[in-house]
Amino acid sequence: MARQFDRIEDDHRAFIEAQHIFFVATAAPEGRVNLSPKGMDSLRVLGANRIVWLNLTGSGNETAAHLALANRMTLMWAGFETRPLILRAYGSARLLHPGEPGWEAMPEALTGRIGARQIFDMRVEMVQTSCGYGVPYFDYRGERDALEKWAEARGEEGLRRYWHEKNARSIDGFATDFAPPEDDA
């Protein structure tokens, strides 16, 4: 039932763009495997082998730490509402922080968001589809606004402090290579 492709086909792209949630998985050579749900319209397919997604400020920064040690990433979507399909994209990614070269070339819908911490620019090496016959139906009710309200309340300076205090190391102690832009002061 599973099929592999060397690129994101038009049908894959349409499926990805119709989903409200995706999952990202990464792992360092040792330590814990990280699997995180993502949403909030934070992903764009930019080509047959390229996906970018915005990593908003959160409690951890595992993906950045893992990529610094083992540059491999898997993204996954599951059809919860209609089509029974599971789609995975396998590849490697580069990390962009606000203000770094390449940031401004990213879609403005991603870079202009409050709490924008990083963008992962993924080179897709393989796409795999499989049936989603065992995936239950779930109805989409809307986006949560709690993360945006939390980031707005902290403000830019508060977010920078949070990144340095809470996002500089993974739960296994690996450096995240997090380097937010320097203060203008």
Asked whether residue 37 is domain-assigned, the answer is: yes
Give me the number of domains the chain comprises.
1
Q: What is the CATH number of the domain that holds 148?
A: 2.30.110.10
Q: Is 159 exposed, middle or buried (CB count within 10 Å of its CB: 0-12, 13-18, 19+)?
A: buried
CA neighbor of 65 nearest in space, from 40, 87, 107, 36:
36
Mean pLDDT value across the chain: 93
pLDDT level of residue 178 (50, 70, 90 thresholds): low
- Write down the pLDDT at residue 1: 74
The pTM assigned to this predicted structure is 0.93
Asked whether residue 184 is domain-assigned, the answer is: no
Asked whether residue 122 is domain-assigned, the answer is: yes
Enter the DSSP assignment of 48: T
Contact 63, 53 (CB under 8 A): no
Query: What would the pLDDT profile of 111-158 be if each residue is shown by its tens digit?
Result: 999 999 999 999 999 999 999 999 999 999 999 999 999 999 999 999
Pairing mode, if any, of strands 43-47 and 50-56? antiparallel
**If you average pLDDT over residues 1-24, what whole number do you get?**
96
More confident: 47 or 164: 47
- pLDDT of 51 > 70? The answer is yes
